[in-house]
């Protein structure tokens, strides 16, 4: 990857590659996971701690040697699934399919394959009767052999535990470096069952940034297809980017050049975009956002809220039916119901040492170009004049204008007769 970041921690669809593999295993019903990790990449073990039992491969002697580091008792009287940690497109349903086929066949081992002659992976060599014979690594196969065989090894296996342990003990080095190849296990395991997968994209492993981009494109299309089939309108899938962890409700419309990241949740009946970036934010039903808006982590948007063009919001909550129409910044703000934020409004939340809170209560009206120097509070039903610089709290029902803002009108705030 030519990167300081370990390969499996690079992201596809907004998630680390290894997380997608772990989640696929959980979806398949596998709860006890072992991750074989190099001591030279302790951050991988730290990342997986609590979700996997970490096993360190002290010496890098190949994939077979890595598998042999798993505690011997794990192999007793059970089936084991082995999967490469750099396969972000593998589905949980596929792992489940492989395990079911393995258990039904009674084979010592079952492996997955795809038909993809363009891949630089091991080839599945079959006997004249079609039965499995062996795996030939691409580096060990001659050009003619590669051209003739289009079935390639995916890197997803299911083994009978006791037989796998015996085969590991008998495994011999396959090259001058003394490496033990996992694929050489199949020389001693019989019978071997092969499950051919329909979707060749599931076999994409990530070994460089070109493959990372390819995997990203495939996963993005999967996510968008799933959303459209669930009742979301994606106006232009080619220009829409939605991370794998994003959830969107029915009848929401996503316009072009929208980027939805992280654990964002969008309710039903919303309109998002065009040209918006939303990260780790919740939008309740019937809200809209955009164009050219940036909503950052830690934000909660209530129902029927309007977030307009060139607005930026971070670590804030906005209650139902409030409006942030144009060119405003809300940081560390709590906004009540039916509040109007005038164009050009800024919450000056940073004092040079800490982030400070701004509170704007229900039914407040913030005039254009208002600056709110946090910490500050606008009471219920209060108002600010155009260009006001508010440095002190404004009482409920009061109006503040000027630089610095001063109160020119006070009245008792009353509950509205009905919700506007």
Q: Write out the H or E segment, with its range, that includes residue 54.
A: strand 53-56
State the sign of the Cα–Cα–Cα–Cα dihedral 195, 197, 201, 202: negative
Q: Annotated catalytic residue: which of 47, 102, 306, 326?
A: 326
326 is catalytic: yes
Strands annotated E in 227-349? 233-234, 241-242, 247-248, 253-254, 258-261, 265-266, 271-272, 276-279, 281-283, 288-289, 293-295, 299-301, 306-309, 312-314, 317-318, 323-326, 329-331, 333-335, 340-341, 346-348
Nearest to 203 by CA among 83, 86, 87, 82: 87
Task: Specify whether the CB–CB gap between 352 and 370 falls below 8 A.
Answer: no
Strands 358-360 and 281-283: unpaired
* d(C-alpha 120, C-alpha 137), whole Å: 9
The strand pairing partners of 365, in sequence order, are 340, 383
Indicate the DSSP class of residue 367: P
| Angle formed by the axes of helices 92-105 and 17-27, nearest 10° | 50
The strand pairing partners of 151, in sequence order, are 115
* d(C-alpha 219, C-alpha 204), whole Å: 11
State yes or no: cis peptide before 375, omega within 30 of 0.
yes
State yes or no: cis peptide before 230, omega within 30 of 0.
no
Collect contacts of 271-275 with beta carbons under 8 A, ≥24 apart. Answer: 273/235, 273/240
Q: Write out the H or E segment, with its range, that includes residue 68.
A: helix 63-68
* d(C-alpha 37, C-alpha 46), whole Å: 10
**Half-sphere exposure at residue 38, Cβ-oriented, CA atoms within 13 angstroms:** 11
Burial group, residue 279, by CB count within 10 angstroms (0-12, 13-18, 19+): buried
Coil vs helix vs strand at 193: strand
* d(C-alpha 354, C-alpha 28), whole Å: 46
Residues classed as catalytic: 326
């Amino acid at each position: 990857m030519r990167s300081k970041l370990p390969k499996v921690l690079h992201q596809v669809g907004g998630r680390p590659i290894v997380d997608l593999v772990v989640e696929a295993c959980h979806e398949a019903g596998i709860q006890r996971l072992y991750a074989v990790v190099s001591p030279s990449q302790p951050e991988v073990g730290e990342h997986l701690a609590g979700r996997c039992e970490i096993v360190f491969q002290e010496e890098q002697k190949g994939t077979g040697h890595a598998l042999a580091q798993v505690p011997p008792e794990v192999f007793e009287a059970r089936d084991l699934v082995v999967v490469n940690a750099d396969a972000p497109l593998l589905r949980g349903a596929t792992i489940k399919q492989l395990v079911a086929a393995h258990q039904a066949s009674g084979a010592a081992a079952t492996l997955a394959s795809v038909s993809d002659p363009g891949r630089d992976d091991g080839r599945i060599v079959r006997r004249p009767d079609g039965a499995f014979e062996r795996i030939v690594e691409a580096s060990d196969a001659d050009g003619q052999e590669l051209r003739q065989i289009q079935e390639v090894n995916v890197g997803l296996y299911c083994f009978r535990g006791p037989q796998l342990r015996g085969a590991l003990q008998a495994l011999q080095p396959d090259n001058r470096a003394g490496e033990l190849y996992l694929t050489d296990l199949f020389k001693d395991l019989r019978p071997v069952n092969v499950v051919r997968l329909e979707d060749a994209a599931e076999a994409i492993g990530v070994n460089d940034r070109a493959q990372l981009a390819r995997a990203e494109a495939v996963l993005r299309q999967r996510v968008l297809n799933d959303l459209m089939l669930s009742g979301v309108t994606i106006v232009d899938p080619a220009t829409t980017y939605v991370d794998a962890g994003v959830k969107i409700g029915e009848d929401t419309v996503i316009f072009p050049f929208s980027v939805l990241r992280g654990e964002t949740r969008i309710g039903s009946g919303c309109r998002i975009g065009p040209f918006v970036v939303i990260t780790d934010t919740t939008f309740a039903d019937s809200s809209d956002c955009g164009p050219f808006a940036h909503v950052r982590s830690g934000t909660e948007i209530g129902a029927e809220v309007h977030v307009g063009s060139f607005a930026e919001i971070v670590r804030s909550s906005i209650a139902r039916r409030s409006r942030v129409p144009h060119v405003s910044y809300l940081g560390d703000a709590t906004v009540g119901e039916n509040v109007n934020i005038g164009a050009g409004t800024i919450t000056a939340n940073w004092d040079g040492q800490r982030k400070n809170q701004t509170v704007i209560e229900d039914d407040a009206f913030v005039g254009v170009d208002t600056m709110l120097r946090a910490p500050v509070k606008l009471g219920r039903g209060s108002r600010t004049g155009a260009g006001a610089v508010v440095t002190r709290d404004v009482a409920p029902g009061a109006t503040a204008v000027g630089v610095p803002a001063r109160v020119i009108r006070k009245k008792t705030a009353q509950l509205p007769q009905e919700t506007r």
